[in-house]
Amino acid sequence: MTRAELQVFELWGNANCYAVLMKIEQIELREIRMEMKHAFETSFGVTKERRIILVAVSSGGITGYGEVSCNETPGYSYETTETAWHILKDFIAPTVLGQVLEQPADYQALVKPLRGHPFAKAGLELAIWDWFAKAANAPLWKYIGGTKTELPVGLSVGIKKSPEALAEFVLEQQALGYQRIKLKIGRGRDLAYVAAARAALGEGMNLTVDANSDYTLEDTAMLKELDQYKLQYIEQPLENDDIIDHGTLAKSLSTPLCLDEPIHSASDVRRALQMGAAKVINLKIGRVGGHLEAHKIAAYCQANSVALWCGGMLESGVGRAHNVALQTLAAFNMASDTAPSARYWHEDIIEPEIIMENGITRPLEGIGIGVKLKHDLISKLTTRVLGF
Ligand code: OSB
Ligand code: MG
Residue ranges of the alpha helices (H) in the chain? 3-11, 81-87, 93-96, 105-111, 118-135, 140-143, 163-174, 191-201, 220-225, 244-252, 266-274, 291-303, 317-326, 341-344, 375-381
- In the structure, what pLDDT confidence band is assigned to residue 10 with cuts at 50, 70 and 90? very low
How far is C-alpha 262 from the geometric centre of its chain's CA atoms? 13
| Radius of gyration of the chain from its Cα atoms, rounded to whole angstroms | 20
Is residue 214 in contact with ligand 1, taking CB distance under 6 Å?
no
Task: Check if 182 is active-site.
Answer: no
Distance CA 34, CA 350 (A): 13
Length of the chain: 388
> Does position 320 have pLDDT exceeding 90, yes or no?
yes
Q: Distance from the CA of 74 to the center of ligand 2, in angstroms? A: 14
Query: Model confidence over 104-116: pLDDT tens digits?
Result: 999 999 999 999 9
Q: Distance from the CA of 175 to the center of ligand 1, in angstroms? A: 21
- In the structure, what pLDDT confidence band is assigned to residue 19 with cuts at 50, 70 and 90? low
Task: Check if 284 is active-site.
Answer: yes
Query: Model confidence over 135-191: pLDDT tens digits?
Result: 999 999 999 999 999 999 999 999 999 999 999 999 999 999 999 999 999 999 999
Distance CA 124, CA 144 (A): 17
Q: Which ligand is nearest to the CA of 319?
A: 1
Quick one: which of 38, 31, 13 has its CA closest to 346?
A: 38
Is residue 210 in contact with ligand 1, taking CB distance under 6 Å?
yes
Distance CA 354, CA 91 (A): 33
Query: Model confidence over 77-101: pLDDT tens digits?
Result: 999 999 999 999 999 999 999 999 9
Tally Cβ neighbours within 10 Å of residue 273. Answer: 19
Angle at 264 between CA 259 and CA 269, to 5 degrees: 55
Mean pLDDT of the chain: 95
Q: Is 265 helix (H, G, I), strand (E, B) or coil?
A: coil
Share of the chain above pLDDT 90, in %: 95
Whole-model pTM: value is 0.94
Distance CA 254, CA 233 (A): 9
Q: Which ligand is nearest to the CA of 77?
A: 1
Residue-range domains of the chain with CATH: 17-137+377-387 (3.30.390.10), 143-372 (3.20.20.120)
- In the structure, what pLDDT confidence band is assigned to residue 202 with cuts at 50, 70 and 90? very high
Q: Choose the residue to mutate in 34, 42, 209 for probing ligand 1, maximizing ligand atoms within 8 Å of C-beta.
A: 42
Q: Choose the residue to mutate in 40, 153, 156, 310 for probing ligand 1, maximizing ligand atoms within 8 Å of C-beta.
A: 156
pLDDT of residue 20: 87
Mean pLDDT, range 21-46, rounded to an integer: 96
Is residue 262 in contact with ligand 1, taking CB distance under 6 Å?
no
Of all atoms in ligand 1, which is nearest to the CA of residue 339? Answer: 16
Amino acid at 166: L
pLDDT of residue 7: 38
Helix-strand-coil percent breakdown of the chain, rounded to 5? Answer: 40, 25, 40
Query: Model confidence over 238-253: pLDDT tens digits?
Result: 999 999 999 999 999 9
> Does position 17 have pLDDT exceeding 80, yes or no?
no
Nearest CA to ligand 1 atom 7: 313
> Does position 53 have pLDDT exceeding 90, yes or no?
yes
Nearest CA to ligand 1 atom 12: 156
**Torsion 87-90-93-95 (CA) sign:** negative
Q: Distance from the CA of 113 to the center of ligand 1, in angstroms? A: 29
Is residue 313 in contact with ligand 1, taking CB distance under 6 Å?
yes
> Does position 201 have pLDDT exceeding 90, yes or no?
yes
- In the structure, what pLDDT confidence band is assigned to residue 8 with cuts at 50, 70 and 90? very low
Q: Which of 37, 184, 296, 374 is catalytic?
A: 184
